A and B are shown apart, each in its own frame.
Chain A
Amino acid sequence: MNAPLQAGTAAADVWTVAGRTFRSRLIVGTGKYKDYALNAAAAEAAGAEIVTVAVRRVNLSDSSQPMLVDYVKPDRFTYLPNTAGCFTGEDAIRTLRLAREAGGWSLVKLEVLSNTPHLYPDMIETLRALDLLVKDGFDVMVYCTDDVVMAKRVEEAGAAAIMPAAAPIGSGLGIQNRVNIRLIVEQAKVPVLVDAGVGTASDATIAMELGCDAVLMNTAIAGAKDPVLMASAMKHAVIAGREAYMAGRMPKRQYADPSSPLAGLI
């Protein structure tokens, strides 16, 4: 018999990617915030342990500009460098090698996007880049389409985690294909995270109810009227979805089933 889940035991519910173990199942981006201070406050409110970051040229004309590392501190958050803006495998590898040198670690997020308005990943180019990165010693979390067969290919190519899109990046449309996300979760032996397309708290809960190990989002928090409050909402949404998944939902029925006993009616 399963003991009821106590608040104290929830702390033991962890997930592991490439040998690193985390308690928080919410990864947040660091783009699109008004400033880095608000960004840091939102990441704290989200309870995040991992944040995604981009790699870009430094501003040579003004070296006194605020730097991300001074606000969202790498000793508090695990940085997950991304390859946003890369449209070829070579661009992605060059970017992540620089990231590895800047940050000193090998856990990275690969996203090789199609140069289109929907920004869906170019999976052929993504697989090619993944192969090169794995050979170069990176632990690669891979942004991918919600194609079940492609997700398997990504895993077989050595991905440390599979991160299917819920909907186009920054669209806030929520999970468009629950059937596929669930099938990807069922077949995977590495962590599955919904990445991109979450709009509000219920979307994050659904991702977790489908059995995802974690959720990655940026615009849903940064684009809210009150990003810090939305970050807190997302933290609770992810916990709620995870606990519901662990608890095992009741079966659906077509008709009513009264909650109060009929025996002893006056």
Chain B
Amino acid sequence: MRLTINGEGREYDGRPDVAGLVTGLGLDPRKVAVERNLEIVPRSLYPVTPLMDGDRIEIVHFIGGG
């Protein structure tokens, strides 16, 4: 399926849920937050939140800032 992740269009053929996407990208789910189509996905719901073709996903984390 086609996803837009952090503004980049990407083909995705992994496990079709948020948990699969996050771990498939090599990210530690405890260190990120995910938004799917402008809605926050609570961490506890990653395994049961399905991905659909055309979803717009944002994955963010904390970085240095003032």
Residues in chain A within 8 A of chain B (CB atoms): 29-33, 36, 39, 52-58, 60, 63-64, 67-69, 72, 79, 81-82, 84, 94, 97-99, 101-103, 169-170, 196, 218-219
Contacts and interface: CB of A to CB of B under 8 A. Distances in A.
Where chain A touches its partner, the secondary structure class is mixed
Interface in B14-58: 25-27, 31-35, 38, 40-43, 58
Contact of A98 (B31, B35, B64): B35
A31 B62 contact: no
A53 B59 contact: no
B62 A81 contact: yes
A63 B31 contact: no
B64 A58 contact: no
Contact of A58 (B35, B43, B59, B65): B59
A39 B64 contact: yes
Given A99-B62, A101-B33, A57 B6 contact: yes
A63 B65 contact: no
B27 A219 contact: no
Contacts of B26: 63-64
B27 A103 contact: no
Contact of B40 (A54, A97, A103, A218): A97
A57 B66 contact: no
8 closest A-B pairs by beta carbon, nearest first, are A54-B65, A29-B66, A218-B66, A63-B26, A102-B33, A30-B64, A101-B33, A57-B6
Interface residues of B, number: 26
A31 B63 CA distance: 8
A57 B7 contact: yes
Contacts, number: 101
Contact of B62 (A39, A54, A64): A54
B43 A101 contact: yes
A67 B66 contact: no
A55 B25 contact: no
B60 A102 contact: yes
A56 B63 contact: yes
28 contacts: A29-B65, A29-B66, A30-B66, A31-B65, A52-B66, A54-B62, A54-B64, A54-B66, A55-B33, A56-B63, A57-B6, A58-B25, A58-B27, A58-B59, A60-B6, A63-B26, A68-B61, A68-B64, A69-B31, A82-B65, A84-B66, A99-B62, A101-B33, A101-B41, A102-B33, A102-B60, A102-B62, A218-B65
Contact of A53 (B7, B32, B35, B64): B64
